[in-house]
Structure 1
Amino acid sequence: MLTQLSIKNYALIDDLSVKFNNGLSIITGETGAGKSILLGGLSLILGKRADLSSVKDDSKKCVIEATFDITKYNLKSLFKSEDLDYEPLTIIRREILPSGKSRAFINDTPVNLDSLQVLGVRLLDIHSQHQTLQLTNDDFQFQVIDALADNAKLLETYSGQLKQFKQLKKALKALQEQKAEAIKELDYNSFLLKELDDAKLIKGELEVLEAEYETLNNVEEIKEKLNASHELMSNDDIGVTASLTEIKSQLSKLSNYSSSYKSIYERVASSLIELDDIFSEIEQLQDQLEADPDQLDKVNAKLQIINNLLQKHSVSDIDELIAIREDLRSKIEVTEHLDDDILETQKQLETCELELQKLSDAIHDKRSTILPKLTQQLETILETLGMPNAKFDIKLNPSEVFLDNGKDDLQFLFSANKGGQFNELKKAASGGELSRIMLAIKSVLTKYTQLPTIMFDEIDTGVSGEISNKMGVIMQQMSKKMQVFSITHLPQIAAKGDTHYKVFKEDIDNVTFSQIKQLTQEERIVEIAQMLGGSDLSSSALAHAKELLN
């Protein structure tokens, strides 16, 4: 409920602060006194866009602040989702700076207008004769029906199931698109993989093949050089081995003379051992070496295959080709497994759809059950409000698709006159009739759900004294379960309030200001008497005012 409102530097208001009580609060005042200014300030609290022209003194900041007691509204989850600090007494503040910029705060946390609007609709509902579009909105009509049907828990479960259903549908579509795309690439990828598999690639193979090719391709030259080297080492007259053996023999006689001779002798002996090794290895290479045209052709062919693959895939070594081969293999395996994934997702989707259908059927059944009760309650209330021939025809038709709140299409039809045709509310009811229908619906809703504070702005316009009295009674009944405000010009409604506030203008130093104050019992009598008979108070008007208040 709205517990306090303060407005500074807004329109005709310089500095206003007022506290409100629960129950039915009446707001009265002459036309132009500032009631619309009050509503304008509250609209800013609800997230309406700010206008610098509404600021009284554009050299100063305009501040509008409202305090709400939200202990009964179950809003902790909303505060969490909006990343706000939850406070049982929540303060909403709007500021319009001289620059024209606007700022909004919830419990001193800066917020954008979207967050303000999300919270605002849960706290305050401003309704006037000209603001009845909500009544013709399907979402609002379903809200009424589901409140009476006690569908809150079912709808919460349905919402979670619908979310899963949509996710599965999205996943299935993605898998099917992936499969379609994969099928286009499958043949080509399979061809590329076969090429790489047939090549039987081995890590580090390229260097080995290149070395083998060079050997086989130059076998005669290698043979000639090895033979020449063998001859130079093994010749008895001029061979390197024989000469080095003779040098070793000569130096061995000097090795005992000094360490210098011994060192050079040992180096020659070591060189002779290394030379023997080289000689043996040359002999082995000679034995192994032979021309092999077939092997040369094989090596050359394999090199050609590898080089073609390197060029085709724009890489520089076999390791990269092997990585490409494994990646292609993975893609093909994924394609082959897509059918399994699609089948599994389809099964999950079917199971989810069955559960969703059960939930939507249960929601539909509960809605259908309460429609006669809702129709009867609304028609009874409207009869007391001067619409004895008002009739409703509310129909639930099955939808082809799952909607956000079930699987029903709603027809909320109305006829105001006896024998008249049923039609949509916005076509069948006048503005004044829509206001009374809204009042009837809100009064029914208060019995089944916790509504936010509601402010009726002159919805009694054009209503007779007896009907206005009935409207006042309905507001009184509503106010037992929620906070209700009524801005009215009718004394019959004004007298029904638990608390009465008056909006008035006063001139200070040739400047007009709007003010609001809570009236005492005596002031209420005077105010209602003036509403009955004008500014000239008669004893009969005062007596009538007292009678209405009693």
Structure 2
Amino acid sequence: MLKHLYIKNFTLIDKLDIDFHKGFSVISGETGAGKSIILGAIGLLLGNRADSKQIKQGEKKCIIEAKFNLAKYDFENFFTENNIDFDAEETILRREISDNGKSRAFINDTPVSLTQMRTLGEQLVDIHSQHQNLLLQKEDFQLNVIDIIAQNSKELSAYRKAYNTYKNTEKKLETRKKQIAENIQNEEFMRFQFDELSNANLQENQQEELEAESKTLSHAEDIKSSLFDADNALNDEDAGVVRRLKIASETLSNIAPLYPKAAEVSERLNSAYIEIKDIAEEVSAATADIEFDPNRLDRINEQLDKIYHLEQKFHITSITELLDIQEQLKKQLQSIDNSDEEVKELEAELAKHLEECKKQADILTKTRTKSAKKIQEEIHQRLVPMGIPNVQFDVQFIEKPFAIDGNNKVQFLFSANKNSPVQPIAQVASGGEIARVMLSLKAMISCTVKLPTIIFDEIDTGVSGKIAEQMARIMQEMGENNRQVISITHLPQIAALGTSHYKVEKRDTESGTTSQLRELTQNERITEIAQMLSGSDISDAALQNARELLKV
């Protein structure tokens, strides 16, 4: 629940520093006194967007801070997941807005994003303003009410999982059919390309090897001539390097007994002889191997021309890429050949997921139907004491195509008169009737959802007298179940039933107009309610009526 609210330099508020209590509290004040300003400040703590124009004129920064007691609520997981210190007795939300347009948000002095603050704020406070009554016109709101009271989050989650699987499979099938259609349309061209690549007999590293061989054959005469000269220099019988090294090594070996240093040199020469002899044999073999073969050169250049043509055609630079394209075309053609079987498999998979989607939708519908009966019964029980004795309220379900929220289209049907047929509530209910329906729904929701604080902003519009008193008793009842209910009201019947009473006042000072909020004493409450009964001129009768309403 909201324990304390601190506001500084926010629009008309210089400084507000006030405690709130558990149970049912009321806030009163003249129109324009600043009630909406206070709600606007609380809205910032719930993640609403900030504007530097909200800063009090002449100031650099405004601060809104609220302290909550969450001891009776389960919020620890949020703080753990967001790495924020948790104090169940005192959780602090703070917004700071600077005149440069920047806004900062904090939870327990930890900087947080606006999304994080909004996520927590929506679970702490529900502000029900008059415009929220318009939500009754929206089908998604009506369906959401049914789901909240049904407490069917598990069933809804199971349905959504089945629905998403179904839709993903449906999308996969549509995409595959489209691909197959495109492939079939291009099949002739793809087969031509595949055959062209296949007939080229491409192999990895083929281009590099052929280019090297082409270069060799193109210069075969020059290469053979050079190899021949090198062979003569190495192997000539008289002046060849090999023979001379052999002679030099043997000559030094002969004098080794007389000149020991010659032995080492002889060994080195012998090693060189062995290496050069091996080289000479390779040169001789190469000389014999090199032959100019114009037919072979033509075949090589013809294959290279094919490779270059294909690379240019497909805008690539290697045989590896050509082989990749060939493999891709092969798979696409195989896919065309197997397309009928593939589509049948996907259609069978889709049918299976559709059945699961139907199954989960039926389970979800049962929870909603049960919830709808409960809503119908309780709405009737609540509205009769609130001045609609002949109320008729039905929840109508119409089957719709599967969507993320199920296959139920829902409408709240209403009639305030005994012999009038029920119609969509937004079309036939008055403002006061809608306010009473919304209060009844909020009361039901509050029993299901553990929401610490609910603020009603003039939900009593269009009602008065006994009806207003009954509405106040419902809010009073809501405030008894570990919940804090605050009602902003103009009606004395509602104000009198509050456990605590606050008043918003606007004052003119030398520095300008300011708005203040203060808690009233018992005597001040009598005066305030008397004024709400009779206006600015408070009569003795009004004071006596106020005491009777307050039972003092």
Q: Is the shorter-chain TM-score for this pair beyond 0.5, marking a shared fold?
A: yes
With the shorter chain as reference, the TM-score category is 0.7 to 0.9
Moved more, 69-78 or 320-329: 69-78
Q: For residues 164-215 of structure 1, give each alpha carbon's deviation from its aligned partner in whole angstroms, at most 9, with x where no partner exists.
A: 4444445555555555666648435523540343679758632664377458
Q: Alpha carbons of 1:214 and 1:271: their partners in 2 closer, same or farther (altered >3 Å)? A: farther
Q: For residues 320-340 of structure 1, give each alpha carbon's deviation from its aligned partner in whole angstroms, at most 9, with x where no partner exists.
A: 414532563256347747968
The match for 1:531 is 532
- SS of residue matched to 2:330: helix
- SS of residue matched to 1:6: strand
Is residue 431–residue 461 contact of structure 2 (8 Å, CA) maintained in 1? no
The match for 2:191 is 187
Match runs of 1:58-207 below 5 Å? 58-71=58-71, 74-75=74-75, 88=88, 89-173=90-174, 175=176, 184=186, 186-187=190-191, 190-197=194-201, 202=206, 205-206=209-210
The match for 1:39 is 39
Is residue 127–residue 455 contact of structure 1 (8 Å, CA) maintained in 2? yes
Moved more, 533-542 or 495-504: 533-542
Amino acid at match of 1:433: E
Give the CA RMSD over aligned residues: 4.6
Q: Alpha carbons of 1:204 and 1:53: their partners in 2 closer, same or farther (altered >3 Å)? A: closer
The match for 1:19 is 19
1:470 and 2:474 correspond: no
TM-score normalised to structure 1 length? 0.79
What are the ranges of 5 or more consecutive residues in structure 1 without an aligned counterpart? none
Q: For residues 9-62 of structure 1, give each alpha carbon's deviation from its aligned partner in whole angstroms, at most 9, with x where no partner exists.
A: 123321111111221111122333322222222222233333444432333311
Amino acid at match of 2:209: E
The match for 2:301 is 303
Q: For residues 65-98 of structure 1, give each alpha carbon's deviation from its aligned partner in whole angstroms, at most 9, with x where no partner exists.
A: 1223345555556667777665534322222223
The match for 2:311 is 313
Amino acid at match of 1:525: I
Q: Alpha carbons of 1:179 and 1:82: their partners in 2 closer, same or farther (altered >3 Å)? A: farther
- SS of residue matched to 1:355: helix
- SS of residue matched to 2:123: coil
In 2, Cα distance between equivalents of 1:124 and 1:277: 93
In 2, Cα distance between equivalents of 1:346 and 1:76: 46
In 1, Cα distance between equivalents of 2:84 and 2:192: 55
Q: Alpha carbons of 1:45 and 1:377: their partners in 2 closer, same or farther (altered >3 Å)? A: same
Q: Alpha carbons of 1:103 and 1:277: their partners in 2 closer, same or farther (altered >3 Å)? A: closer
Amino acid at match of 1:190: F
Q: For residues 321-361 of structure 1, give each alpha carbon's deviation from its aligned partner in whole angstroms, at most 9, with x where no partner exists.
A: 14532563256347747968877665554444332221111
| Structure 1 residue 520 displacement after superposition | 3.0
| Structure 1 residue 439 displacement after superposition | 0.9
- SS of residue matched to 1:197: coil
In 1, Cα distance between equivalents of 2:523 and 2:312: 97
- SS of residue matched to 1:446: helix
| Structure 1 residue 108 displacement after superposition | 3.2
The match for 1:10 is 10
Q: For residues 229-282 of structure 1, give each alpha carbon's deviation from its aligned partner in whole angstroms, at most 9, with x where no partner exists.
A: 99xx899xxx768xx89x979x979x8699799989x989x9899799969985
In 2, Cα distance between equivalents of 1:140 and 1:86: 33
Q: Alpha carbons of 1:33 and 1:187: their partners in 2 closer, same or farther (altered >3 Å)? A: same
In 1, Cα distance between equivalents of 2:348 and 2:542: 77
Amino acid at match of 1:440: S
Match runs of 1:318-357 below 5 Å? 320-322=318-320, 324-326=322-324, 328-329=326-327, 332-333=330-331, 336=334, 349-357=350-358
- SS of residue matched to 1:502: strand
In 2, Cα distance between equivalents of 1:375 and 1:425: 13
Is residue 199–residue 306 contact of structure 1 (8 Å, CA) maintained in 2? no
| Structure 1 residue 112 displacement after superposition | 4.7
In 1, Cα distance between equivalents of 2:12 and 2:327: 77
Q: For residues 420-455 of structure 1, give each alpha carbon's deviation from its aligned partner in whole angstroms, at most 9, with x where no partner exists.
A: 454333322232222111112112223333345222
Is residue 179–residue 335 contact of structure 1 (8 Å, CA) maintained in 2? no
Q: Alpha carbons of 1:399 and 1:81: their partners in 2 closer, same or farther (altered >3 Å)? A: farther
Is residue 202–residue 319 contact of structure 2 (8 Å, CA) maintained in 1? no
Q: Alpha carbons of 1:478 and 1:300: their partners in 2 closer, same or farther (altered >3 Å)? A: same
Match runs of 1:232-243 below 5 Å? none
Q: For residues 83-137 of structure 1, give each alpha carbon's deviation from its aligned partner in whole angstroms, at most 9, with x where no partner exists.
A: 7665534322222223344333333344454444444333222223344122222
Is residue 207–residue 304 contact of structure 2 (8 Å, CA) maintained in 1? no
In 2, Cα distance between equivalents of 1:523 and 1:157: 55
Moved more, 42-51 or 13-22: 42-51
TM-score normalised to structure 2 length? 0.79
In 2, Cα distance between equivalents of 1:308 and 1:176: 35
Amino acid at match of 2:357: L
In 2, Cα distance between equivalents of 1:46 and 1:121: 6
The match for 2:392 is 391
Is residue 5–residue 65 contact of structure 1 (8 Å, CA) maintained in 2? yes
Amino acid at match of 1:300: D
- SS of residue matched to 1:91: strand
- SS of residue matched to 1:122: helix
Q: For residues 449-470 of structure 1, give each alpha carbon's deviation from its aligned partner in whole angstroms, at most 9, with x where no partner exists.
A: 3345222222223423111111
Q: Alpha carbons of 1:80 and 1:434: their partners in 2 closer, same or farther (altered >3 Å)? A: farther
- SS of residue matched to 1:99: coil
Amino acid at match of 2:414: F
Moved more, 68-77 or 475-484: 68-77
Q: Alpha carbons of 1:212 and 1:13: their partners in 2 closer, same or farther (altered >3 Å)? A: closer
Amino acid at match of 2:135: Q
Higher gyration radius (CA): 1
Is residue 142–residue 411 contact of structure 2 (8 Å, CA) maintained in 1? no
1:454 and 2:477 correspond: no
Is residue 214–residue 300 contact of structure 2 (8 Å, CA) maintained in 1? no
The match for 2:412 is 412
In 1, Cα distance between equivalents of 2:278 and 2:415: 121
What are the ranges of 5 or more consecutive residues in structure 2 without an aligned counterpart? none
Q: For residues 378-405 of structure 1, give each alpha carbon's deviation from its aligned partner in whole angstroms, at most 9, with x where no partner exists.
A: 133222222234323321111212x222
Amino acid at match of 1:43: G
Match runs of 1:423-502 below 5 Å? 423-451=423-451, 453-481=453-481, 482-502=483-503
Is residue 189–residue 332 contact of structure 1 (8 Å, CA) maintained in 2? no
- SS of residue matched to 1:27: strand
Is residue 392–residue 415 contact of structure 1 (8 Å, CA) maintained in 2? yes
- SS of residue matched to 2:201: helix
